[in-house]
Amino acid sequence: MNDAGAVVDELAERIRAAAAARTPLEIRGGGTKAFYGNPPAGEPFPTTGLAGAVAYEPSELVVTVRAGTPLAELEALLASRDQMLAFEPPHFGAGATVGGCVAAGLAGPRRASAGFAYGGVRDFVLGAKLLDGRGRTLSFGGTVMKNVAGYDVSRALAGSLGVLGVILEVSLKVLPRPPVETTLVFEFDEATALARACAWGARPLPISATAWHDGCLRLRLSGAPAAVGAARRVLGGEAISTPADASYWRQLREQQLPFFAGATALWRVAVPPTAPPLEFGDATLIEWGGAQRWVRTAAPAERVRERVARLGGHATLFRAQDRSSGAFTPLAPALLAIHRRLKAEFDPAGVLNPGRLYAEF
């Protein structure tokens, strides 16, 4: 594509100039996730000029799209062929782009699944083109399901928040939409909900999402009618009607449920699913079979992180007025050293989203 080529050349030129002048750049898609990570800084560097699908082969379960493509547009394209992004990414606003979605690496409720069928963003990245801090276009992975030539850099871009380079284009594995979805509701306290979610997860049931809050566990089942029907009979619980359940999971994904309103800091806690109820915070919402927990608390960051570390997990300050304590759990020194060396290799002048992931690079 000549147009796209010209846009990339322009972006590369800008990066080289910024590197020479040591001017930090803030890579920006729709700006819907500016709240996430450490506060962005630098001259805005929009990716919205890189729009559109490059290739879509429904029978290959692969789509290749430019980074500035609106996420909603991609989802509509897939829906037209009865396919979907299996990681059910949150948009957090109308302008969300595919590049931002991959760079933020956030997955929605469907991440809960016991089998491989669904998973995190990185599980579905097959390839990517990256514009690095030297203005070079690098091409990792491809459009095939299995590829072990070279290091798997494209998966590592999921959640990289732009610190290694500007994602130009990604190839994603997509999945057929499940023919049937049903939501079951159970009245459980937190401990019971956690125990049940774990026990059910160990059985071959088509669970595609779980959520517990305010004394209720919701369980979404997805799959062939026979599988969903059989699971319903095994699980019991009360089914809620289809339109209501679809909007519930969307509101959960977009953090529009009442739980997410209010000014108290919102923490994302990732723990082994078997971790006991967290004994801190004003309120908790539990997803992913117990592995992702949203907590509202004004407690100091070190205290939250220390308690979560003891459970074998990590805590991200997801939404807060004050992000001065760092959005992400600090890295062990040996890991930080590797991160710094990676940053120095891919972005020697340190101009791409500096500090967005960690203040140190």
Partner 1 sequence: MATAHDGRTAGHDSRRELLDGLRALLGAARVLVEPEDTRPYECDGLTLFRQLPMAVVLPESEGEIVAIVALCRRLQVPVVPRGAGTGLSGGALPRGDGVLLSTAKLDRLLALDPLARTATVQPGVRNLAISEAAAAHGLLYAPDPSSQVACTIGGNVAENSGGVHCLKYGLTVHNVLRVRGVTMDGEIVELGGHAPDAPGLDLLALAIGSEGMLLVVTEVTVRLVPVPQFARCIVASFPDVESAGNAVAALIAAGLVPAGLEMLDRAAARLVEPHAKAGYDLDAAAVLLCESDGTPVEVEEEIARMSAVLREAGATRLQVSRDEAERQRFWAGRKNAFPAAGRAAPAYYCMDGTIPRRHLGAMLKSIQALEAKYDLRVPNVFHAGDGNLHPLILFDDADPDSVRRAEALGDEILAECVRLGGTVTGEHGVGVEKLDAACAQFDADTLDAFRSIKRAFDPTGLLNPGKAIPTLHRCAELGRLRVSGGVPPFPDLPRF
Kindly tell me which of 57 and 282 has the beta carbon lying closer to partner 1.
57
Residues in the chain: 361
* Residue 282: CB minimum distance to partner 1, A: 22
- Cα 144 versus chain centre, distance: 22
Nearer to partner 1, 44 or 277 (CB): 277
Nearer to partner 1, 2 or 321 (CB): 2
Contact assessment for residue 197 and residue 167, using Cβ atoms and an 8 Å cutoff: no
Q: How far, in whole angstroms, is CA 202 from its chain's centroid?
A: 24
3-state helix, strand, coil in the chain (%, to 5): 30, 25, 40
* Alpha-carbon separation of residue 285 from 79, 253, 306 (angstroms): 29, 12, 20
Shortest distance, CB of residue 316 to partner 1, whole angstroms? Answer: 7
Q: Are 259 and 294 in contact (CB under 8 A)?
A: yes
| Shortest CB 55 distance to partner 1, Å | 9
Nearer to partner 1, 48 or 316 (CB): 316
The partner residues of 53 in beta bridges, in order of sequence, read: 65
CB of 141 to partner 1, least distance (A): 8
Closer residue to partner 1 (CB): 48 or 266:
266
Nearer to partner 1, 70 or 206 (CB): 206
3-state secondary structure labels for all residues of 173-209: ECEECCCEEEEEEEECCHHHHHHHHHHHHCCCCCEEE
Give every CB contact of residue 320 below 8 A, 6+ residues apart in sequence: 265, 266
3-state SS class at 299: coil
Report residue 111 CA to chain centroid gap.
9
Q: How far is the CB of 275 from partner 1 (least distance, A)?
A: 9
Q: What does the block give as tokens for 301?
A: 């960051």
- Which residue's CB is nearer to partner 1, number 204 or number 243? 204
As a whole number of angstroms, the distance between CA 90 and CA 83 comes to 17
Q: How far is the CB of 149 from partner 1 (least distance, A)?
A: 5
